[in-house]
Structure 1
């Protein structure tokens, strides 16, 4: 089933919003320390929980998912980007989470991947190794390592989402409601981390001197990237099969790299370009329904 033109535009627009989000995060980190920015993001993203119904999911599972999907992923990513990980490169390196998700599914759930998924993962991991060989200059070992750990935490969150218990009433969980209520989980731990590592004085100084750029970045991250982004994405998933919607996520790192080059003049040498191309190729091999498309053509 093909997408209606308006929904196709939605899908492309949201991937552009998510890709540009890496540039916005970089701008926000110029005003807020990374742990505080993480805490503020989820504190404001959780406000709609005052009016949105809580998903009928056990709190234990909600907490575990929130810790992996939000605390682990975004604390590590924001700290990585504040310690030598450029936004464009981060947007592509983070997509290695797809390979980690497959690996965890094999180890934890006993799933058996298709040959093309294994091949795609191998290509993507080769791309990650190529990027790792370019560490130095504007890319630090710490920044790259934390981004990889962020991708691993994202993968663990994906697995918890997949294993999330079905509501007793049989109704599907609304994506926006789930994201908003999961946003409650990171507030306390990230604020505690910010107080412990960044300190009250640095927090107060950031809140006082952030200015329009800092608060504008926070607004974009909360409203456009989190609430609007996941709300529209969830709507698309409710209208179409995941195999129709999910491949559009391949556009996110492309938008991320292009916008970083345009806004921050981020440059990519031959080694990084090769690594980025391998990661994108691996993801395409793993996620695009190549076999089904070929079968449809033969049937026609």
Structure 2
């Protein structure tokens, strides 16, 4: 991958990693489900200038419900309950493990030996994180973050089952992301009213200041629209195996920025478990190359023999 593309990949991973700290800043005093509704209302507005993805509405709705509403509704709620941004970013990487398992069941995709090894390592890492979590990481918040990763994995399988969205790398995946955001605002507001209550929603809207506005713009515009546009361009120019591993920088950036700006230093067990989880995710992407047998030398024809000997 060219150096320019490597820098762009690192930029996207940094945007996505710092996103977790920005969410924690902006969500202060704002109910999490209401915050999700506002974020995806901004993303959905971009659908006015981006063509609809050439796939069925069933896929758009499925991706919107699981990859957008389910993932971020559960993630934001877990962070509102006290889950640290760095640990949240790390636990979301479990989506790779969930995606492989769900695809094996739903799509009959037989996992490779390396993928099975990666799943085992990922589960081991998650177990270490869960058992060694710090006192500021409630068990319910950890479970909600894992549920967010599971929802993301289901969304991945829905997208995978639908096949390739035409134009991936040239706006196809970005258009699916933007148009699936149309599914989020109304259900998110309805859930916010039911779960968080009308009083909390009213108070959240009243206290929606500059910090929440800047956080929303960062997550909606920089992370979703700009981030995916750059990432899809990288996938269009380079092999996916060279691009996707850069995403693993996101939890590293999230944990480093949370430690530097919020004073949230992970416990040794969280660091160890997170490292094992990241290794497991890397292992799932390793593919064994098939060694092709060399072709037998082609025997020259008679005319070629005669020419060779000058006949």
The normalised TM-score by structure 2 is 0.88
Structure 2 counterpart of 1:63? 61
Aligned counterpart, 1:237: 235
Matched with 2:32 is: 34
| In structure 2, C-alpha distance between the alignment counterparts of 1:165 and 1:130, rounded to whole Å | 36
Write the distance in 2 (CA, Å) between the matches of 1:82 and 1:205.
Answer: 16
Q: How does 1:142-221 map to 2 (within 5 A)?
A: 142-165=140-163, 172=168, 174-221=172-219
Higher-Rg structure is 2
Partner of 2:137: 139
Which of 204, 219, 222 is matched with 2:220 structurally? 222
Contact 2:255 2:266 in 1 (8 A): no
**Larger relative helix fraction:** 1
What per-residue deviation string (whole Å, max 9, x for no partner) do you get for residues 166-217 of structure 1?
A: 56xx655622211110110111110111122223332232222232211111
| Per-residue deviation, 1:120 | 1.4
Which residue is 1:277 aligned to? 275
1:22: Cα distance to partner? Answer: 0.7
| Equivalent runs, 1:93-112 vs 2, <5 Å | 93-112=91-110
Q: 1:280 to 1:205 in 2, by over 3 A?
A: same
Q: Which runs of 5+ in 2 are unaligned?
A: 292-311
Q: Which residue of 1 aligns with 2:72?
A: 74
Cα shift at 1:264: 0.9
- The aligned residue for residue 12 of structure 2 is 14
Cα separation, partners in 2 of 1:166 and 1:122, compared to 1, 3 Å: closer
Cα distance in structure 1, aligned partners of 2:28 and 2:126: 27
Alignment RMSD, CA only? 1.8
- In 1, are the aligned partners of 2:64 and 2:184 still within 8 Å (CA)? yes
1:84, 1:142 within 8 Å by CA — same for their partners in 2? Answer: no
- TM-score (ref. length: structure 1): 0.91
Deviation (angstroms), 1:241? 1.9
Alpha-carbon spacing, 1:7–1:156, altered in 2? closer, same or farther (3 Å): same
The equivalent of 1:298 in structure 2 is none
In the other structure, the counterpart of 1:252 is: 250
From 38, 41, 44, the equivalent of 1:43 is 41
Residue 25 of structure 1 aligns with which residue? 23
CA distance in 1, matches of 2:172, 2:92: 25
Contact 2:22 2:215 in 1 (8 A): yes
Classify the secondary structure of the residue corresponding to 2:39. Answer: helix
Q: Secondary structure at the match of 1:92?
A: helix
1:46, 1:180 within 8 Å by CA — same for their partners in 2?
Answer: yes
Distance 2:167 2:65 in 1: 25
Whether contact under 8 Å (1:247, 1:288) holds in the other structure is: no
Whether the aligned pair in 2 keeps the contact of 1:81 and 1:87 (CA below 8 Å) is yes
